[in-house]
Structure 1
Amino acid sequence: MKILDTFFDAFDSLRGLFRRKSDPQGEQTGLLARLLPVTLLVLIAGILILGFLWSSEPDSFSPVLEAKRLAGERNDPITTGYITTAAIIKIAETLLDKPGGYLSNDKLPPGVLMDNIPNWEFGVLTQIRDITLAMRNDLTRSQSQSIEDKDIIIADSKFRIDSESWMLPPAESEYRQGIDALYAYLTRLVDEDKQDGQFYARADNLNEWLGLVSKRLGSLSQRLSASVGQQRLNTDLAGDAEAHQSTATGNVVEVKTSWFHIDDIFYETRGSAWALSHLLKAAETDYLHVLEKKNALVSLQQIVRELEATQATLWSPIILNGSGFGMFANHSLVMANYISRANAAVIDLRNLLKNG
């Protein structure tokens, strides 16, 4: 939408230039006036072409094959946690190195005029932040009283820099440092001499991360479903007769996503699901013995399948927002269906890990 508005404004300016004739004295407009419309047209065409090329979402990859490639380059053995860490690195590098690079903090066109891919980037970044937080708090620690991993501390803090920070510091450089910290952790992870880099593949650790995943998916599902507007019963304090909240709210809550933000939430969800599907595939290998013992492997695979369904090609040039049973499609509700099913499967998987 921003690109089209810019194009129409430039077109109006060009039309005025073409209509401009010689002045009353008979003087010609000059070479500069004749070249300016052509230059602007070429510039606008270049911006539109770059915007189109940069709007493509990255392809998926195999976390196992990526880990093998990385291990081959570094001459590393693949140990527990290697595939998950390699997947995080690949996802973060894709975020920065995809066509057009990192766009969320761009201040010049076409990046500043685009919003779909920046929202996709934020969805990916959210999953990176969640998995690095889980690694800092749980996956790299043997128990609650153990010491946090020094490199994961750096990675977690670097990935939490404002996604739109342009300078002092620029987001890209901070995220690069986060990736470097993950590489440093990976080096220590395979070092059998020092043994100070660990990844603990336990059911309780996996369950903690899946708790974060479930909360993210639940939030995305609610935001997507609100595209058509709903009146919801207030269940904020349900289940606890003694519960209180800061300010009183009504028994019925009106929830509706602004028309201007529908596509933002849609692409944020696409990015989040893209990153999460790869992380879960990596966890499938690193936690294989745990999942098999709990008879939960198929449950995790079903989550991945639901998330992969969200990555189907979108043939419509815009995100349609038809009513639930209207004549036109509602892409947000379709996406919400897949996310809700994935979240339900995550909840079931958590129960299996805890009680299975």
Structure 2
Amino acid sequence: MLDSVITFFETIFLSLGRVIGRIAAAIAWPFLRIANWFRDRHWMVQAPVALAFLLLVGLYGYFIWQTQVWTNFNTSFVDVHKYSTREAPAGAALTAKADGSPQTCQPSAIAETAIELTDFNVNQNAWISSMILYKLGFFGVDWDHTPFLDNKANFQRGVNEAVRRATVELVDTLGRMRGTSGINNNLQSARSNMQYGEDKWYWSTSPFGPLTPTPSVYRAAIKDLTNFNKELSVCTTTFDARADNLREFLDRVASSLGSTSDILRERSENYGGGWFDTRADDRFWFAFGQLYGYNAILAGTRADFANVIKERNLGPLWDRLQGQFKSALKIQPAIISNGAEDGWIMPTHLATMGFYVLRVRSNIQEIRDVLDR
């Protein structure tokens, strides 16, 4: 009896070994053919081929390094500004000249956080979505359809979504007196630059021709926002820190988060696969990046509308909102799983993230309701 059991398992392992051996041989075959071809060539052929190979290895090494190392990633980076203690709203006079006219005014914390987030995305880190090897994909397969090397790209896009929303609101309402004054040129340029395509490289096939890469355009937006804050600090432009503008801004943020919640819900309900759902990580890290960005943007919003926060006694509600952000940003699993909600082997990280997104959105709506009274 024992001999038959041993023989059974030996047969299984031998068969498994043969299958693995054949797979390994199939994978190695093209490389062996290339090596044999390379060995039989003249050195004048070998040299450029070897250089091209080394260049490719170097590019992939750099690409993999950039996708895996998140430089200066810090979910609490905005805390150093202590925005909750700021008393003067954006645009308020801080000092006056001898004749009583304002000499310096309070710069915008929303613009400041948008600058810091974009600098984090394109200067402190490489912008993954426009890197040539990311655009080429994994043997022609889009990296977003694979389970690896795409988390940072989706996180950066989520952060960028929050910055884009901030620049739109700065142009449309916040940077204009009651929405009727002229549009600030720097803010207009910043909004335009932040709407630039996220995947642009130096060259395009459709339309055919050279392009400005995405990181360069986003760096221009940083300069635009910096120039706006310089104008604001010397009182030559305006920031309309009114309660109705704050309410409208929060409405737009809540709507943005609502769309993300729907995306998470749709993926969680209609797809499965647990750890093997190759698109679950895309949805998760985009939502995480969006929360990372809005956490900073709304901390800056609190400072820019310090007068409204104080008048409406919104400090405790805003503290709770920031606490919800911090709780959500603690969720950083090594592998994203899209399992069943009652599963015990493969968790459902998408449903968990969706829950936190809705909690943040609910707190934003609560603040908005107070402003609406």
Residue deviations 1:245-304, cap 9 Å, x none? xxxxxxxxxx65994432211111111110110111122222223112212122222222
- Give matches, 1:319-330, under 5 Å: 319-327=336-344, 328-330=346-348
SS at match of 2:369: helix
Aligned to 2:115: 89
Aligned to 2:372: 354
Structure with the largest fraction of helix: 2
Give 1:107's match in structure 2, choosing from 132, 141, 145: 132
Distance 1:103 1:351 in 2: 39
Given that 2:328 and 2:356 are in contact with CA atoms closer than 8 Å, whether structure 1 keeps it comes out as yes
- Give matches, 1:156-305, under 5 Å: 156-167=191-202, 168-191=211-234, 195-229=235-269, 259-305=277-323
Structure showing greater relative contact order (alpha-carbon pairs closer than 8 Å, 6 or more residues apart): 2
Residue deviations 1:39-69, cap 9 Å, x none? 97996698367525533442231265399xx
Given that 1:223 and 1:257 are in contact with CA atoms closer than 8 Å, whether structure 2 keeps it comes out as no
Distance 2:371 2:24 in 1: 59
Any unmatched runs of 5+ in structure 2? 1-22, 84-94, 96-102, 138-142, 144-148, 203-210
* C-alpha distance 181-214 of structure 1, shift in aligned 2 (>3 A): same
SS at match of 1:163: coil
SS at match of 2:128: coil
- Structure with larger Rg: 2
SS at match of 2:340: coil
Any unmatched runs of 5+ in structure 1? 1-8, 68-75, 230-254
Given that 1:47 and 1:110 are in contact with CA atoms closer than 8 Å, whether structure 2 keeps it comes out as no
Distance 1:110 1:301 in 2: 41
Q: Which deviates the most, 330-339 or 176-185?
A: 176-185
Residue deviations 1:209-234, cap 9 Å, x none? 111110111111111122332xxxxx
Aligned to 1:47: 60
In the alignment, is residue 145 of structure 1 matched against residue 171 of structure 2?
Answer: no
Aligned to 1:4: none
TM-score, length-normalised on structure 2? Answer: 0.71
* C-alpha distance 292-66 of structure 1, shift in aligned 2 (>3 A): closer
Distance 2:54 2:27 in 1: 11
Distance 1:276 1:63 in 2: 13
What RMSD over aligned residues (CA atoms) do the two structures have, in Å?
Answer: 3.6
Kindly, what percent of the aligned residue pairs are identical? 21
Query: CA shift at 1:14, angstroms?
Result: 4.5
Distance 1:21 1:175 in 2: 43
TM-score, length-normalised on structure 1? Answer: 0.74
Query: CA shift at 1:196, angstroms?
Result: 3.0
SS at match of 1:314: coil
Distance 1:276 1:21 in 2: 52
SS at match of 1:108: helix
SS at match of 1:62: helix
Distance 2:282 2:104 in 1: 38
Distance 2:35 2:123 in 1: 48
Distance 1:18 1:107 in 2: 27
Letter in 2 for 1:130: R
Query: CA shift at 1:309, angstroms?
Result: 2.2
Given that 1:63 and 1:86 are in contact with CA atoms closer than 8 Å, whether structure 2 keeps it comes out as no
Distance 1:147 1:21 in 2: 66
Aligned to 2:332: 314
Distance 1:30 1:296 in 2: 75
Distance 1:78 1:226 in 2: 49
Aligned to 2:9: none
Letter in 2 for 1:347: Q
* C-alpha distance 66-345 of structure 1, shift in aligned 2 (>3 A): closer
Given that 2:244 and 2:371 are in contact with CA atoms closer than 8 Å, whether structure 1 keeps it comes out as yes
Given that 1:273 and 1:308 are in contact with CA atoms closer than 8 Å, whether structure 2 keeps it comes out as no
Query: CA shift at 1:346, angstroms?
Result: 0.7
Given that 1:224 and 1:332 are in contact with CA atoms closer than 8 Å, whether structure 2 keeps it comes out as yes
Distance 2:196 2:55 in 1: 36
Aligned to 2:81: 65
Distance 2:233 2:284 in 1: 39
Distance 2:229 2:36 in 1: 70
Distance 1:313 1:206 in 2: 29
* C-alpha distance 13-276 of structure 1, shift in aligned 2 (>3 A): same
Aligned to 1:342: 360
